[in-house]
């Protein structure tokens, strides 16, 4: 605990200058009077903000603190260490600026209005740790009403990494993913998004169950099939649990040969070792399948392409890139494996171009670039 607190002391992030301010000449260039000329250029050509400001590589990390990790509704200020962590990862892994935005309200309309009002500061919006069903409304409205990419990391970011893991799990188990019967236990932000992405990828709807009838109905409206906990455990080849209930899956419920992703943190629905002892062919938890593998490369690729929004093709490309980078016998790559985020970045940027949402032309020299922190000149 002492080491954890030491790393958090005074916060994990800070704003720094790209240019050393070590003389009056430099001061006059980066501030007054030189900065006025840059401002006037942007007035005449607003697109120059993408050249002469940090806006195109800056993402807002927005939370109201209603669904922080497995801690629940602890408020946005108590959630700041999580938001700082996301920002630190974005900068360290892919050179993107992440700015935590803590909401002082939990009202859906006020959150939407606030984010829209501050949006000009940013190249994109990442929603974090907002409770369901409110998170769905906020995401859908902002995605529709803002002319910039919007992602809810608990939804799309998580779903991308889970899809990558499922692709490799099916390969290891010699199961045809497109034909496998999939069950979702828990249909909150993560569960619903996983169901949507799996449906698009396989063309086959997943069974889904949750504590609330409203959650089941959202799953059905998204193309899924309402089910029960017992039916899922008894009849599916793949179980993905995001229920938030520790110990929900008992060993005797596990079918021989099943693939089980028990993803509730900090303690899963069933410990992977226990699930494997009970007959599961593959069993993992949220510590092994972590969404840190997804959102950094998703953002860098999106910003590199100057994409106007995220598309299914971009999420699919990210998942396939992650799956391809996993070492033999593993479901996903290690966070520190060389080139992982570069591969995701390039795959997302290319998919943005292929799906028609890229506003920047990226030549083949970009896709040979070895440094995700290098902004392409073209």
CATH of the domain at 253: 3.40.50.720
Q: Under a CB-based contact definition with an 8 Å cutoff, are residues 44 and 108 in contact?
A: no
Q: Are residues 304 and 251 in the same domain?
A: no
- Torsion, Cα of 33, 35, 37, 40 (10° steps): -130
Determine which one of 86, 309, 343, 350 is catalytic.
86
Q: Are residues 20 and 148 in the same domain?
A: yes
Q: How far is CA 89 from the centre of its chain?
A: 12
What is the per-residue pLDDT for 290? 85
Domain boundary among 122, 153, 184: 153
Closest by Cα among 326, 375, 322, 318 to 351: 318
Q: Are residues 143 and 17 in the same domain?
A: yes
Residue 371 in this model has a pLDDT that exceeds 90? no
Residue 76 in this model has a pLDDT that exceeds 90? yes
What is the per-residue pLDDT for 368? 67
What is the per-residue pLDDT for 69? 84
List, for residues 304-338, the tens digit of each pLDDT value.
999 999 999 999 999 999 999 999 999 999 999 99
Q: Are residues 34 and 58 in the same domain?
A: yes
Q: Which of 67-81, 162-176, 183-197 has the lowest mean pLDDT?
A: 67-81
Determine which one of 9, 12, 31, 181 is catalytic.
31
Hey, is 284 helix, strand or coil?
strand
Does any domain span residue 373? no
Per cent of the chain over pLDDT 90 is 89
Q: Catalytic residue at 86? A: yes
What is the per-residue pLDDT for 21? 93
User: Where in the sequence is the domain holding 328, given as residue range(s)?
Assistant: 291-368
Mean pLDDT of 186-190: 95
Q: Are residues 72 and 118 in the same domain?
A: yes
Residue 16 in this model has a pLDDT that exceeds 70? yes
Residue 378 in this model has a pLDDT that exceeds 50? no
Q: Catalytic residue at 181? A: no
Does any domain span residue 378? no
Closest by Cα among 57, 79, 122, 39 to 301: 57
Q: Are residues 22 and 129 in the same domain?
A: yes
* Distance from C-alpha of 362 to C-alpha of 378, rounded to nearest angstrom: 7
Q: Are residues 117 and 81 in the same domain?
A: yes
List, for residues 210-221, the tens digit of each pLDDT value.
999 999 999 999
Q: Are residues 249 and 265 in the same domain?
A: yes
Q: Are residues 128 and 19 in the same domain?
A: yes
Does any domain span residue 246? yes
What is the per-residue pLDDT for 265? 85
Domain boundary among 96, 118, 153: 153
Residues 6+ apart with CB under 8 A from 185: 191, 209, 210, 229, 232, 239, 240, 241, 242, 243, 248, 249, 269
Q: Are residues 332 and 240 in the same domain?
A: no
CATH of the domain at 115: 3.40.50.10380
Query: Per the structure, how many domains does the chain have?
Result: 3
Does any domain span residue 222? yes
Which stretch of DSSP H or E encloses residue 239? strand 238-241
Q: In whole angstroms, how far apart are CA 344 and each of 31, 161, 226?
A: 37, 11, 33
Does any domain span residue 252? yes
Domain boundary among 126, 153, 180: 153
What is the per-residue pLDDT for 374? 58
What is the per-residue pLDDT for 363? 75
List, for residues 34-47, the tens digit of each pLDDT value.
999 999 999 999 99
Does any domain span residue 167? no
Q: Are residues 234 and 273 in the same domain?
A: yes
* Distance from C-alpha of 47 to C-alpha of 45, rounded to nearest angstrom: 5
Q: Are residues 37 and 53 in the same domain?
A: yes
Does any domain span residue 260? yes
Mean pLDDT of 52-71: 94
């Amino acid at each position: 605990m002492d080491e954890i607190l030491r790393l958090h002391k005074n916060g994990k992030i800070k704003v720094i200058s790209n240019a050393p301010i070590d003389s009056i000449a430099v001061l006059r260039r980066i501030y007054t009077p030189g900065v006025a000329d840059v401002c006037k250029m942007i007035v005449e050509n607003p697109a120059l903000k993408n050249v002469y400001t940090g806006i195109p590589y800056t993402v807002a990390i927005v939370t109201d603190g209603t669904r922080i990790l497995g801690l629940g509704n602890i408020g946005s200020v108590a959630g700041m260490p999580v938001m700082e962590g996301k920002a630190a990862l974005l900068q360290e892994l892919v050179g993107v600026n992440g700015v935590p935005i803590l909401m002082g309200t939990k009202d859906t309309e006020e959150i939407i209005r606030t984010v829209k009002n501050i949006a000009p500061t940013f190249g994109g919006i990442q929603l974090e740790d907002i409770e369901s069903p409110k998170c769905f409304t906020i995401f859908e409205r902002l995605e529709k009403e803002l002319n910039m990419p919007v992602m809810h990391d608990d939804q799309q970011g998580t779903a991308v990494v889970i899809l990558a893991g499922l692709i490799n799990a099916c390969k290891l188990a010699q199961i045809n993913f497109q034909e496998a019967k999939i069950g979702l236990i828990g249909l909150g932000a993560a569960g619903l998004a996983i169901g949507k992405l799996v449906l698009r990828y396989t063309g086959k709807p997943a069974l889904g169950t949750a504590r609330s009838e409203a959650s089941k109905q959202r799953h059905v409206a998204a193309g899924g099939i309402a089910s029960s906990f017992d039916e899922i455990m008894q009849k599916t080849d793949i179980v993905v649990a995001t229920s938030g209930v520790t110990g929900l899956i008992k060993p005797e419920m596990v079918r021989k040969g099943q693939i089980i992703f028990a993803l509730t943190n900090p303690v899963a629905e069933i410990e992977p070792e226990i699930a494997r002892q009970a007959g599961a062919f593959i069993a993992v938890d949220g510590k092994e399948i972590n969404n840190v593998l997804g959102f950094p490369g998703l953002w860098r690729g999106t910003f590199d392409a100057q994409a106007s929004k995220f598309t299914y093709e971009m999420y699919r490309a990210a998942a396939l890139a992650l799956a391809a980078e996993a070492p033999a016998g593993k479901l996903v790559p290690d966070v520190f494996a060389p080139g992982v985020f570069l591969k995701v970045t390039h795959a997302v940027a290319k998919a943005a171009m292929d799906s028609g949402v890229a506003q920047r032309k990226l030549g083949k020299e970009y896709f040979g670039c070895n440094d995700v922190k290098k902004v392409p000149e073209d």
